[in-house]
Amino acid sequence: MLENFKLEGARSYSKKKTVVSVKRILEDLGGHQPWGCPWAYFSHRQRRFSILGDPILGKSVSNLLGELLYEELAMRWEQLLLDDAFTGGALAWLPGRTPRIRQLVYPAGGALDKLYFQEVRLTPGSDPRTLGNPGHIQLRGPVRQVVTCAVQGESLLAVRSDYHCALWKVSRQGRPAPLQVLKVEKGATGINLSPHLPGELVVCSRSGAVCLWTPHDGLQQIYKDPETLVFRDPSPWRWADFTAHPRVLTVGDRTGVKIIDTQGPPGCGLLLFRVGAEASCQKGERVLLTQYLGECVPSSLQPTLHLICTQFSLYLMDERLPLVPVLKWDHSLPSAPLLAQLLPPPRPGCARPLLLGGQGGQLQLLHITGEGASTPRLAGHPQSLPSRSDSLSAFPLLEPRSQWQLQERLQAPTIGLAATILSSSSTPVLSLFQLSAAGDVFHQRLHLREDPRPPTDSGPNCHVPTASWSPQATACCRRWLKALLEVPPAPPVWAAPTFSHRCLLSFKEQQKVEGKVPESLRAAMAQGRLLQQRDLGSLPTAEPPPGPEPGPKDELSERLEAAWEGPMAAWWEQQQDRTSGPGRQPKRHKRRMQLSNTFSSLSGHLDLSGATSPPHSPDWTSPVSRPRSPVTLPSQELTQDLWAQGIPSERQQTLRDYMAKLPLQRNTPESASASLSQTSSTRATPSRQRTLRDCTAELPPHRDTPEGATAPSSQTSSIWATPSRQQVRVLSGSQPHRKKPRMGF
């Protein structure tokens, strides 16, 4: 391809039309975006590029598309099994102007590419109230994870997308100020803020790299391993979090969790947790989430605890005692637990609630206690909170299609979880917010009660509290349902790009063309809608097609019509006058009539050997007295020229063969006529026999013949003077042999 493509950016003054500048091609393909159809415009460079690169690029593009399609199908299959894109959650709280007013941060929109900031007033005795319209930031990708943290009076917000990570600093008035944006080429899988130093966060990528990132110092890679920790697993998911020490981090994958020192040599560290016999893991168990639980201060738990969730169990690990869980509990959630949040104690000295959320919308509330040097344990029975689909019975009964649409919206996967505890004089209230994949934010208000009884060893004895519906919540749900069931507006119809034709027509021609167009058609074209019958105006009346012109009648049809109507003699007289008129040219016969005319002319000029009539010439002798040698008739050459006139040469041999098959007539003209009529009458049906007799009776006498004759001499000779088979053989044998035609005649 180097002969046809110029790779350098310098201008080429070559006059060859087979050389294309690659720089100009890339500029055209990357910068030119025509309105309407993207393929409506092709420059001459792009056209030459497609012509020159077609033999090579055809194979390369097909191979590349095949690989990408295989990767896409594999990724879709993995997402059906487990979608880990929203691990950690995309819903978080930010402190507001007062302790009762906070900001809820969540993504919304069809592609979840808008980050919303909504102020919410929280009160223990009533449902939360939104204050004003939310502000939003338009991003260039879907939001997968939202993390907030307040360190030394600074509120930070970190957002993870598929290939970008961003950091904002949020003031008390709720105005976010962007600090820095990071691009991750291989794709980001996790992001977490440091609880020790403001503005420091850790980022993980699908390539196995873990980096520390600060707005002042930039990006610093501290760990990279494309392989998994314990055993081989194909998942590229990686996760990292902080520990009780500011320079020590945890790095996890599907097989385990490792503690690494950022200031130590690369590769050093020890396993904190691994899927195996040490933790009594089940077959096929994998790590889904790891989270540091020492963020909230003051804390009643040890600051060295870490939460590790799998699809079967929940583990509490201590940094000081690796590989051995200090607490294990089978959560029995039907979906993968990808969301977890540790809440502050509702009162001093009480257990700390731990909220665990499954991807399918299931929620579980656990209470963990363990003050001082005591081992962490579960206080009371875990509580299974009502899910969104459980509130379906509270909605009014709808028609089947609307009911199915409501049920599908309520059963959307949960991608965010944010909760807070509101203290009151009687019972603490848990205010819980959930974010679905459809962009809906749901709220639950639950009362917490203390249950000092420890759980049994047989399994979680969960208590299911009932959901209470306040009048305000009912009205809000009705408004949401009404907006959900509204018929969405029809998408705009794609309009093909139009091309101006004014440069092709003169001004007068344009006026003529525009004057013929109705105004309704012009309005329909301007609006870009589908043309209808009323836009085209009244259609012109279609004239009936002209009838077929009567063609010339042939002689046989006229004769049959005259015989059927009766006056056959008058028709015969008319035909005789027409043929014998002075100065009239003989009618040229068609090719299809040449065969019958040839038979008449040939039979009229040849003598029959078996006839008993007087001889026509004195040289005539009987064929019995002649020898069997080939005989040439006196007028053979003249006769041959006469009957062969107007007949193609390739058909003359066919005529000779046909005449050779004719029967031999040995009777007189009268007997020949009688025998012919008798033969015709015997072979014809009774109805045709009667028609033949009628036609024969109505024939007029010839002018030159006596009155008793029934037919003219020419017709009589054509009837009885048929050459015999022997004479035809003599005639055909005297002619030179002709080659067969090549066209198959």
What is the number of other CB atoms lying within 10 angstroms of the CB of residue 667?
17
Cα dihedral sign, 3-4-9-14: positive
Name the residue with higher pLDDT: 160 or 78.
Answer: 160
The two structure tokens encoding residue 286: 């994998």
What share of the chain in percent tops pLDDT 90? 32
CA distances from residue 180 to 113, 366, 484, 606, 721 in whole angstroms, order as listed? 18, 37, 37, 118, 119
pLDDT at site 739: 58
Closest CA to 229 of 250, 205, 211: 250
Under 8 Å between Cβ of 718 and 712: no
3-state secondary structure of 349: coil
What is the structure's pLDDT at 566? 74
Dihedral over alpha carbons 449, 455, 459, 462 (to 10 degrees): -10
User: Band of the pLDDT at 7, cuts 50, 70, 90?
Assistant: low
Each residue's pLDDT tens digit, 67-80: 999 999 988 888 88
Residue type, 465: P
Please give the pLDDT value at position 459.
40
Q: Which residue has the higher pLDDT, 118 or 732?
A: 118
Share of the chain above pLDDT 70, in %: 64
Strand 363-369 to strand 20-21: parallel, antiparallel, or no bridges (unpaired)? unpaired
Tell whether the model's pLDDT for residue 628 goes beyond 50. Answer: no
pLDDT reported for residue 710: 43
Q: Is 637 helix (H, G, I), strand (E, B) or coil?
A: helix
Confidence of residue 446 (pLDDT cuts 50, 70, 90): confident
Work out the average pLDDT over 698-712.
45
Distances 289 to 7, 93, 355, 562, 657 between C-alpha atoms, Å:
49, 20, 13, 108, 103
Convert 484-496 to b/e letters by CB count within 10 Å (16 or more is b): eeeeeeeeeeeee
Given a cut of 60, whether residue 178 has pLDDT beyond it is yes
Q: Is 287 helix (H, G, I), strand (E, B) or coil?
A: strand
Could you count the other beta carbons within 10 Å of the beta carbon of residue 585? 5
The answer to whether 447 and 429 have CB atoms below 8 angstroms apart is yes
Mean pLDDT of the chain: 75
Q: Give the pLDDT confidence score for residue 552 in this predicted structure.
A: 62
The lowest-confidence range among 320-329, 356-365, 660-669 is 660-669
Choose between 346 and 259: higher pLDDT.
Answer: 259
Q: So what's the pLDDT on residue 373?
A: 72
- pLDDT, greater one: 225 or 672: 225
What pLDDT digit, counting tens, does each position of 479-510 carry?
A: 888 888 886 766 666 555 554 444 444 555 55
Residue 658 pLDDT: 76
Residues 425, 430: Cα–Cα separation, whole Å: 14
Please choose, from the candidates 659, 654, 120, the residue with its C-alpha nearest in 3D space to the C-alpha of residue 432: 120
| pLDDT for residue 600 | 47
145 pLDDT tier (thresholds 50, 70, 90): very high
Distances from the Cα of 525 to the Cα of 84, 496, 519, 520, 531, angstroms: 49, 11, 10, 9, 8
Alpha-carbon span 745 to 654, nearest angstrom: 9
By mean pLDDT, which of 27-41, 56-70, 540-554, 661-675 is the weakest?
A: 661-675
The answer on pLDDT for 12 being more than 70 is: no
Q: Tokens 């799998």 map to which residue?
A: 310
Bigger pLDDT: 448 vs 163: 163
Instruction: Give the tokens for residue 520.
Output: 């309704």
- What would the pLDDT profile of 246-293 be if each residue is shown by its tens digit? 999 999 999 999 999 998 887 788 999 999 988 999 999 999 999 999
Cβ atoms 659, 723 nearer than 8 A: yes
The encoded tokens of residue 558 equal 């006229």
Q: State the pLDDT confidence band at 230, using cuts at 50, 70 and 90.
A: very high
CA distance 603 to 409: 100
Say yes or no to pLDDT of 577 above 80: no
Please tell me which residue, 530 or 154, carries the higher pLDDT value.
154
Report H helices in 444-587.
Answer: 471-485, 507-516, 519-527, 555-565, 568-579
Q: What is the mean pLDDT of residues 562-590?
A: 67
Say what the pLDDT of residue 467 is: 54
Residues across the chain:
745
From edge to edge, which strands make up the β-sheet containing 114-121? 92-95, 101-108, 114-121, 129-138
The per-residue pLDDT for 329 is 93
Q: What is the DSSP annotation of 28-57?
A: HHHH---SS-TTS---HHHHHHHHHHHHHH
What is residue 334's predicted lDDT score, i.e. its pLDDT? 92
Q: What SS3 class is residue 266?
A: coil
- 354 with 382: CB under 8 angstroms? no
pLDDT attached to residue 675: 44
**Partners of 430 in the β-ladder:** 421, 446
Among 253-262, 281-290, 468-477, 537-546, the minimum mean pLDDT is found in 537-546
pLDDT band at 568 (very low <50, low <70, confident <90, very high): confident
pLDDT score of 78: 85
pLDDT band at residue 156 using 50, 70 and 90 as cut-offs: very high
Alpha-carbon gap, residue 233 to 199, rounded angstroms: 33
Where does 502-648 have alpha helices with state H? 507-516, 519-527, 555-565, 568-579, 594-605, 636-643
Q: Which residue has the higher pLDDT, 253 or 734?
A: 253
What is the SS3 string spanning 155-190? Answer: EEEEEECCCEEEEEEECCCCCEEEEEEEECCCCEEE
